[in-house]
Amino acid sequence: MILKDILPIFNKHEVSFKEKYKEVGDIYTFIFETEKQITWKAGQHGIFTINHEKINKPTRAFSIASIPSEGHIKISLKISEDPSEFKQALLNLDSGMKVTMRGPIGSFYTKNSKPRLYIAAGIGITPYRALIKNLLLNSAEITDDKLFYLDGREAFIYTEELEEASRISSIKTKYLVKREKLNSEIEEFVAKHNNEAEYFIVGAKTMVHTIETLLKSKGIKKMNIIKDTFVGY
């Protein structure tokens, strides 16, 4: 990560819990408001710390799924029936209660207008909501972008936003359930664009590693692969 993408780690914001709702299955979205207006690059993540309860390991990273002009911080996460203390504490938040967010930080954002393949595994869809919303504001930066969204449980979220993007731009989403289908779709995109495109990957560690290995085996250079690994799953 380059220095300018990591330095905002020293910026500390108190963000105020506004609301939460269930997206689908065990995926929940939380909305926070900020006192002062803050800005970030679409695709970056915040480092969130719980203060309202005393818990072990009170800090977690979450991608910010909203863009600054929406005026709030949106995060979506998987919360199982037996969640960690951290996620239970999030569920216990009442309106107006505060958590600390450091950042936003990270290099997971678009930097040019090459064709792009966005690969999301499960909850790894979160930063793409922001990336795509932001690109729709600057549509000159969109060339031949595709989103391949894999979820074996078909727990797809943000479908409204993704369908809207498909309608008004050339960013098309393919919802995929099987890994084999994802691989064949990736191979097709690689055959068309090769190293003239950029390849974004988000998901749990093993998934990101497997997809990166596939891309490299097809000749895609490391410099054209941009990853966001959701450590913790």
Ligand X SMILES: Cc1cc2nc3c(=O)[nH]c(=O)nc-3n(C[C@H](O)[C@H](O)[C@H](O)COP(=O)(O)OP(=O)(O)OC[C@H]3O[C@@H](n4cnc5c(N)ncnc54)[C@H](O)[C@@H]3O)c2cc1C
Q: Is the peptide bond before 58 cis (omega within 30 degrees of 0)?
A: no
**Contact assessment for residue 122 and residue 205, using Cβ atoms and an 8 Å cutoff:** no
Of the residues 31, 123, 135, 182, which one makes contact with ligand X according to CB under 6 A:
123
How far apart are CB 81 and ligand X at their closest, in Å? 9
Of the residues 13, 41, 45, 133, which one makes contact with ligand X according to CB under 6 A:
45
Residue 229 amino acid letter = T
Distance CA 159, CA 175 (A): 10
Closest to ligand X by CB, 133 or 193 = 133
How far apart are CB 75 and ligand X at their closest, in Å? 6
CA nearest to 61, candidates 122, 126, 148 = 126
Closest to ligand X by CB, 59 or 213 = 59
Instruction: Say how many residues touch ligand X, by CB under 6 A.
Output: 21
Contact between 146 and ligand X per CB under 6 A: no
Of the residues 18, 23, 25, 83, which one makes contact with ligand X according to CB under 6 A:
83
Is the dihedral angle over the CA atoms 201, 23, 182, 66 positive or is it negative? negative
**Contact assessment for residue 197 and residue 117, using Cβ atoms and an 8 Å cutoff:** yes
Contact between 179 and ligand X per CB under 6 A: no
Helix, strand, coil % in the chain, rounded to nearest 5:
35, 30, 35
Closest to ligand X by CB, 78 or 179 = 78
Of the residues 37, 39, 69, 80, which one makes contact with ligand X according to CB under 6 A:
80
Contact between 56 and ligand X per CB under 6 A: no
Contact positions vs ligand X (CB under 6 A): 45, 60-63, 75-78, 80, 83-84, 86-87, 123, 126, 228, 230-233
